[in-house]
Amino acid sequence: MERTLSIVKPDGTKKNVIGKVIDRFESAGFRVAAMKKIQLSKEDAKGFYFVHRDRPFYDELTDFMSSGPVVVMVLEGENAILKVRELMGSTNPAEAAPGTIRADFASNVQQNTVHGSDSPESAAIEIPYFFSSLELC
């Protein structure tokens, strides 16, 4: 069993596809261990994407992530980190495999509907960024 942190990004909540995104995860056998809808501040978004602080898109990315509500969730299942990334598809929806979440819902390389932890090390930082141990069940 493995846990990963996923986010329906502001473009996804705006397009009303929260349920469709969650359905992709549940239909693939993952269990929602925790979930909430929140509005990130610019500082919250900067903290979450701190690993990208030196990338040229950091400022625009954190503006985007704080531009509207997001749904943050912890998904649990076998090989969750890798499998959720597969269900999401490539960062750029133009390169995402058909049938992936990003191929079906994302607008562009920035507004790409969904986030998923990219490694066990990232998941171990990202899950407690949003949830206390009491909120995981």
Which of ligand ATP, Mg ion, none has residue 91 at its interface (CB below 5 to 8 Å by kind)?
Answer: ligand ATP
Opening angle at CA 125, ends 11 and 45, nearest 5: 35
Q: How many residues bind ligand ATP (CB under 6 A)?
A: 10
Decide if 115 is catalytic. Answer: yes
Q: How far is CA 132 from CA 3, 78, 88, 125, 127, in A?
A: 14, 22, 25, 12, 8
Spell out, one character per residue from 80 to 109, where the chain touches ligand ATP: x when CB under 6 A holds, - when not.
-----------x-----------------x
Contact pick of 57, 79, 97, 121 for ligand ATP (by CB under 6 A): 57
User: Which residues of this chain interact with ligand ATP, rule CB under 6 A?
Assistant: 52, 57, 61, 91, 109-110, 112, 115-116, 118
